[in-house]
Amino acid sequence: NLLDKSLAPSSHIKSSDYNKMHRDMNSGPKIISTAYASSSPLSNTNINSGNGGKISGGGPFVQSVAQLDKSVRGAIERRSVAIMFLRELFGIVRGTLQPTARDDFLDTFLQTPLPGRREPSSTLSGEHTSEQISPNNSILTIFAVLLQHLQGHHIEITSLLDILVGIFYHDAPYVRLYAIQHASDKDSLVYVLIKLLLATTDTAIHTPLLEILRTILDTTDDHIFIQSWYDHYFSHLVDVSENFGSIVLGQVCDLLAFCISAHCHVC
């Protein structure tokens, strides 16, 4: 819409300005270049290239668009659009990329750090590597936060769970390490997944949830995770009563049967 000449007052914006802005937008990652901003009649807003191209000043853009962008409704819409984008992106990755390229993409996605410092990652063998992002600083934390705040948003929840199915299949050991390191954090992802399983009767949500949990539970060698699961997470899974309804109780029993089958040698 910014490049649609019919949306702008012709008395304030010349055709040459649009052409210049279009060239600037296509020449790099910045929305509007410093060169254009310094001569643009659009506003008196300043763009400081030495500060990451951040916008400052009191021009019309900041006074109108930026204020609307801070609204609760705007934040909800942006979050929904971002989740839908990720769902489509992961669908393209699964459907079109070769296995090697798909694995590279998922590795890169998992290694995207949260804002903060980069930490060495502890592997299950106790070794450390500076090439990985610690699960303590994992993007999985963002999924946990989103799932906790999306109550009632069916499409967004199922979209996130669909993405998580692919992530858990791709690198279950990484997710198990995350679960071990966040066992004391009741707001971490595995706890949130268990809460979601107990809080809904929607089979469209239960199906990917069960698949996700089975994926990380399907191990016979990771004794540290198995111990952590039964010491911390298991009691939350079985903390149910008849008031939860037959659907939830049935799903819990399904997971219990899977645990018995997978970990009977450990017990």
β-strands 54-56, 46-48 pairing: antiparallel
Query: Higher confidence at residue 52 or residue 159?
Result: 159
For residue 94, which of 197, 21, 165 has the smallest C-alpha distance?
165
CA distance linking residue 195 with residue 186, whole number of Å: 10
- What pLDDT does residue 105 have? 94
Q: How confident is residue 44, by pLDDT bands cut at 50, 70 and 90?
A: very low
Q: Taking Cα atoms as reference points, which of 158, 263, 155, 265 lies closest to residue 216?
A: 263
Structure tokens at 110: 């998992």
**Angle value at C-alpha 89, between 109 and 198, nearest 5 degrees:** 75
The band of 60, judged by pLDDT with boundaries at 50, 70 and 90, is low
Structure confidence at residue 11 as a pLDDT band (50, 70, 90)? very low
| 163 CB burial (10 A radius; 0-12, 13-18, 19+) | buried
Lowest-confidence range among 11-20, 190-199, 235-244?
Answer: 11-20
Per-residue pLDDT tens over the stretch 204-235 = 999 999 999 999 999 888 899 999 999 999 99
Per-residue pLDDT tens over the stretch 142-191: 899 999 988 888 899 999 999 999 999 999 999 999 999 999 999 999 99
